[in-house]
Amino acid sequence: MNDSTDNKKKMLKEMIKQLHEGVSPQKVKEKFKQVLKNTSPEDIARIEQELVKEGMPREELQRLCDVHLAVFGEQVQRQEPHVSIDHPIGILMEEHKILSKHAERLGIIVNMIEEACDSVYVGDALTELQSIVKDFVDSEKHYLREENVLFPTMEKHGITEPPAIMWMEHNKIRENKKKLRDLVEKWNTTPFIDFKTKLGEVTKLLCDILPSHFLKENNILFPAALQAITNEEWTEARKEFDEIGYWRFTPPQLLTTSHAEQPKSEVSATSKGALEFETGTLTKEEVEAILDTLPVDISFIDKNDTVKYFNKAEKRIFVRAKAVLGRKVHMCHPQKSIQTVNKIVEAFKAGKKDSAEFWITLDNRSIHIRFFVVRGKDGKYLGTVEVVQDITDLKELEGQRRLLDWET
């Protein structure tokens, strides 16, 4: 690194620190206007990353990202990438446009409802509101593709903090989408005036966060990704995008079929060789088919806390993409869950626990999540396996249904 680059780096760090200390954006912008002229998204991403390593809480960095935008302003907005709509970044940006239009329409519909004096006058508006809210809920694949493909690929190139901060914002968006969905689903169980008030509050929160979030991704995160990620990695990312699936925008040509439709490849010479276990013998093809047939999500984290394997069950509950392979486990969970995951793994390594289980409700389904320690015959820690299962139907079972009761 030459002296000029090093000096610029120091000035950018000083500028961001002053913003965090409460110096007004206008003063900072005026003081550092010279260094701002040649600031790139990669500069911003790297400096913020270093600040977190130096001790700045990630939550604080996320909270003040909008202040950064106020300062970087024109420099940032000039960086929006120009890529084809069939490129992973082009797909995400196209979805940003659609989501932005939905947010604008949501604001208009909510204003119409707020102006109504009685619920009898909001029939059509309420119907459209329900449709828009459903679209927001269905847009989850947009965020899953970023978290399971784009973010881990960027992390492999040393860009960790911008994805982590964007994931935190994803969770805020999810919280507000859920509040909006719950409110609209139960609108007629609440006095109309209370419904209007709560609807306005939740809508404002969602419509405030989306534009700034998209601005940061389009002008900082995506350009940084394009700078770091190779063409070969983009090709693989696009295939994984196709496999996870799309929402309102589907690229002109899919590069891969869904897992269920993928043709079975010929068994390689290696896979023909039998794997001998104490209780039997299986080929590689049989092992893989068995693990993918089980009605559970399975993920394995090795002794170095690295994601080493996941199965491809036909109806996965949580999305997984190949980009997560080789990723540290603490990078695969939302910020609020990382501490608990780390405690579980440490307890397994120390021999204090052999399992941990949790259960949640997801889209009105009961989901059972279990972690099991994996040890070798000598008792040494080999890793942790996570098993996730939809137990909704199992909870409804009563009485008996024996083998003899089965009918074709």
Task: Provide mean pLDDT across the span 351-364.
Answer: 92
How many domains are contained in the chain? 3
Could you tell me if 273 and 147 lie in one domain?
Answer: no
Q: Is the pLDDT of residue 70 over 70?
A: no
Residues 101 and 135 in one domain: yes
Q: Which DSSP letter does residue 389 get?
A: E
Q: Looking at per-residue confidence, does 6 or 156 come out higher? A: 156
101 and 214: one domain? yes
CA angle 130–134–205, rounded 5-degree value? 85
d(CA 71, CA 331): 29
- The pLDDT, as a whole number, for residue 270 is 43
Cα–Cα distance between 97 and 139 in angstroms, integer? 13
Residues whose CB is less than 8 angstroms from the CB of residue 165 and which lie 6 or more positions away in sequence, other chains included: 48, 58, 61, 62, 65
Q: What angle do CA 337, 341, 346 make, to 5 degrees?
A: 150
CATH number at residue 324: 3.30.450.20
| Residue 264: pLDDT over 60 | no
pLDDT band at residue 72 using 50, 70 and 90 as cut-offs: low
117 within some domain = yes
Task: Let me know whether 69 and 213 are in one domain.
Answer: no
pLDDT at 53 over 50: yes
Q: Which range (77-91, 177-191, 193-207, 282-296) has the least confidence?
A: 77-91
- The reported pTM is 0.71
Tell me the three state secondary structure of residue 353: coil
Structure tokens at 303: 């002794």
Question: What is d(CA 404, CA 262) in angstroms, rounded to the nearest whole number?
Answer: 36
State residue 267's pLDDT score: 40
pLDDT confidence bin for 350, thresholds 50/70/90: very high
Greatest Cα pair distance, the chain, in angstroms, is 82
3-state secondary structure of 85: coil
pLDDT band at 357 (very low <50, low <70, confident <90, very high): very high
| CA distances from residue 84 to 132, 181, 374 in whole angstroms, order as listed | 27, 33, 45
Q: Does the pLDDT of residue 13 top 60, yes or no?
A: yes
Same domain, yes or no: 102 and 198:
yes
What pLDDT is attached to residue 273? Answer: 66
Q: What is the pLDDT of residue 261?
A: 46
Confidence of residue 76 (pLDDT cuts 50, 70, 90): low
- Residue 261 belongs to a domain: no
Question: What is the rounded average pLDDT of the residues 390-406?
Answer: 87
Model pLDDT for residues 143-193, shown as the tens digit of each residue: 999 999 999 999 999 888 889 889 999 999 999 999 999 999 988 888 889
- Residue 258: its pLDDT value, please? 45
Which two three-digit tokens encode residue 381? 């820690």
For residues 295 and 364, state if they share a domain. yes
User: For the residues 117-135, what does the mean pLDDT come to?
Assistant: 84
Nearest to 304 by CA among 275, 274, 280, 327: 327
**C-alpha span between 256 and 244 (Å, rounded):** 10
**Do residue 237 and residue 96 come from a single domain?**
yes
Question: Do residues 301 and 307 lie in contact, with contact meaning Cβ atoms separated by under 8 Å?
Answer: yes
**Where is the domain boundary, 194, 228, 244?**
244
The fraction of the chain above a pLDDT of 70, given in percent, is 80
Give the CATH number, domain containing residue 226: 1.20.120.520
CB 154 within 8 A of CB 163: yes
Q: Which amino acid is at 273?
A: G
Kindly state whether residue 174 falls inside one of the protein's structural domains.
Answer: yes
Asked if residue 95 is part of any domain, the answer here is: yes
Residues 39 and 127 in one domain: no
User: Which among 183, 179, 234 is positioned nearest to 205, based on CA atoms?
Assistant: 179
Model confidence at 266: pLDDT above 70? no
What span, in angstroms and rounded, lies between the C-alpha atoms of 136 and 203? Answer: 12
Q: Which residues contact 232 (CB under 8 A, 6 or more apart)?
A: none
Same domain, 60 and 92: no
Q: Across 110-124, 274-288, 321-335, which has the greatest mean pLDDT? A: 274-288
Q: Which token pair is 90?
A: 């082009």
Hunting for tokens 């989901």 — which residue is that?
367
403 pLDDT band, cuts 50/70/90, is confident
- Summarize the confidence of residues 202-225 as an average pLDDT: 90
Residue 36 has pLDDT above 70, yes or no: no
Q: What does pLDDT average to over the chain?
A: 83
Question: What six digits make up the tokens of 284?
Answer: 């590689």
What's 218's DSSP letter? I
Per-residue pLDDT for 116 more than 60?
yes
Is residue 14 scored above 50 in pLDDT? yes
Which of 244, 259, 279 corresponds to the end of one domain? Answer: 244
Please check the confidence at residue 5 and state whether its pLDDT lies above 60: no
Domain boundary among 43, 77, 111: 77
Give a yes or no: residue 256 inside a domain: no
Q: What is the pLDDT of residue 249?
A: 82
Residue 339 shares a structural domain with residue 194:
no
Rg (CA), the chain: 25
Q: Which residue has the higher pLDDT, 21 or 311?
A: 311
Side-chain half-sphere CA neighbours of 197 within 13 A? 5
Cα–Cα distance measured from residue 235 to residue 357, given in angstroms and rounded to the nearest whole number: 37
Between 74 and 104, residue with greater pLDDT:
104
127 occurs within a structural domain: yes
Per-residue DSSP letters for 278-337?
TTEEEEHHHHHHHHHHSSSEEEEEETTSBEEEE---TT-SS---GGGTT-BGGGSS-HHH
Same domain? 115 vs 202:
yes
**pLDDT at residue 285 tops 80:** yes
3-class secondary structure per residue, 138-162: HCHHHHHHHHHHHHHHHHCCCCCHH
Q: Are 242 and 141 in contact (CB under 8 A)?
A: no
Overall average pLDDT of the 238-244 stretch: 92
Q: Can you state the angle between helices 41-53 and 65-77, rounded to 10 degrees?
A: 160
pLDDT, position 299: 94
**Least confident window among 216-230, 255-269, 383-397:** 255-269
Residue 262 lies in a domain: no
Q: Residue 14 belongs to what domain range?
A: 3-77
| Residue 85 main-chain phi, psi, to 5 deg | -75, -5
Helix or strand or coil: residue 358?
strand
Does pLDDT of 25 surpass 90?
no
Q: Is the pLDDT score of 269 beyond 50?
A: no
Q: Do 129 and 39 have their domain in common?
A: no
Give domain status of residue 405, yes or no: no
Q: % helix / strand / coil in the chain, to the nearest 5?
A: 60, 10, 25
